[in-house]
Amino acid sequence: MTTQDRARSVREAVRRTPAYPFTPIDAPIKLDQNENPYDFPPELKRLALERAAERAWNRYPDLTADTLRERIGAYEQWDPEGVLVTPGSNVIIKLLTELAGIGQTVLSAQPNFTVYTLEASMLGARSVGEPLNADFTLPEAALTARLADSGPGVFYLTQPHAPTGHSDDAAVVERLVNAAGDDWTVVIDEAYHQYSGTDYRDLVRAAPNRLSLRTFSKAWGLAGLRLGYALMDPALATHLRKLVSAFNVNTLTQAAVEVALEHPAYVAERVAEAVRERDRVIEALAAHPTWTVYPSRTNFFLVRTPNADVAYRALLTHGILVRRQDSLPGLAGCLRVGVGTPAENDAFLAAALSIQAE
Ligand SMILES: *Cc1c(COP(=O)(O)O)cnc(C)c1O
């Protein structure tokens, strides 16, 4: 009997959805997950551990992480009642699908962050994707048409975009958000906004059906703690909060992220280095005879190679792990490369420029 046969009670939509496409591979230079190459500063780690140790681990954590939400609210200058926290923004994406996607539509530009469509597929939302333009800008006319005829549902805009690293004109983003009207829950995923210097909070604040999705996983360098959040109107947060499982952010994460928010100076330094390094690597890679490197406003960038499989393996023989994106629509031959430490970036450049034939 196959697994398929035994899983007859599993809903069809879950069975036919592929697992999250990620295979962990060990490599000395890990540039495959857009992580911060630097760990949380050791002195802050110590403070976080002390803070966590002071709290009672036998007790359930603060139900709605009130202290943490207040700190985030103060940091972001946002009403804490409109702040929602979950273990990673991936969880908010699932909640948003439950909130406004099930039996309705999830609209995004393609390719996009895989989680949007995986959740839509499993939860029975109709997934509608409009291909990005060839230069990776948003397909404004096509999205505007979909907004007019495919609602209600959830509309995702990722700024800067992933996996392209492209940042769109603010005027285009604003027109699309306005075109969505009341029919849509409009999500601006700003996971990488620190690297682009963009910030759509004012657009989000202007209407009660809009959210900004943010995370501690990238610029803050805390991917291992799992904390994502969204900024929105308190009325929308009230509905979304009903869908959050109780006590969803654990005591250790709450304590550590509070400490991070009390000492945020390290973030700007690291973002500045990542931006410098990104621009340096992209400029140097422009000399590659067969690869095309795309501009980026994030801590990663895309390169188009003649053969992604060959290029990926060749980098791996140099101990460098990147992410294949070549099966995504419009990204034939593409690899996604994270920005590492200066030494890691030097190693990547040396390896990449030595892979001449591929
Ligand atoms: C990394 C990333 C996130 C953050 O996910 P977490 O669950 O918070 O780690 C969100 N959106 C995009 C587009 C990302 O690349």
What confidence tens digit (pLDDT) does each residue in 303-356 have?
Answer: 999 999 999 999 999 999 999 999 999 999 999 999 999 999 999 999 999 997
Domain around 133: 42-262
Q: What is the phi/psi pair of residue 29, to 5°? A: -120, 110
Same domain for 135 and 53, yes or no, is yes
Residue 113 Cβ contacting ligand 1 at under 6 Å:
yes
Count CB atoms within 10 A of the CB of residue 20.
9
CB-based contact 107:160 (threshold 8 Å)? no
We report the CATH number of the domain holding residue 283 as 3.90.1150.10
Q: Residue 1 has what pLDDT?
A: 44
Same domain for 35 and 46, yes or no, is no
Decide which of 218, 237, 262 is a domain's last residue.
Answer: 262
Whether omega before 111 lies within 30 degrees of 0, making that bond cis, reads yes
Q: How many domains does the chain have?
A: 2
CA dihedral 313, 318, 319, 321 (to 10 degrees): -40
Same domain for 83 and 218, yes or no, is yes
Q: Which of 32, 34, 84, 90 to mutate to test the pocket of ligand 1 (most atoms within 8 A of CB)?
A: 90
We report the CATH number of the domain holding residue 165 as 3.40.640.10
Kindly provide the b/e burial profile for residues 78-93, where b requires at least 16 CB atoms within 10 angstroms of the residue's own CB.
bebbbbbbbbbbbbbb
Q: Residue 337 has what pLDDT?
A: 98
**CA 237 distance to own-chain centroid:** 20
Residue 254 Cβ contacting ligand 1 at under 6 Å:
no
103: left (phi over 0), alpha (psi -120 to 50) or beta: left
325: its two tokens: 């994106």
Same domain for 69 and 209, yes or no, is yes
Same domain for 36 and 124, yes or no, is no
Exposed/middle/buried for residue 169 (C-beta within 10 Å: 0-12, 13-18, 19+): exposed
Find the 217 Cα to ligand 1 centroid distance in Å: 7
Ligand 1 atom nearest to CA at 223: 9
The answer to the question of residue 5 being in a domain is: no
First CA to last CA distance, the chain: 44
Specify the DSSP element, H or E, that contains 42. helix 42-54
Q: Residue 24 has what pLDDT?
A: 85
Q: Residue 54 has what pLDDT?
A: 97
Same domain for 98 and 178, yes or no, is yes
Return all residues near 12 (Cβ < 8 A) that are at least 6 apart.
Answer: none
Gap between the Cα atoms of 308 and 101, Å rounded = 34
Find the 138 Cα to ligand 1 centroid distance in Å: 19
Q: Determine the length of the chain.
A: 358
Nearest CA to ligand 1 atom 3: 191
Write out residues in the chain with pLDDT < 50, as ranges: 1
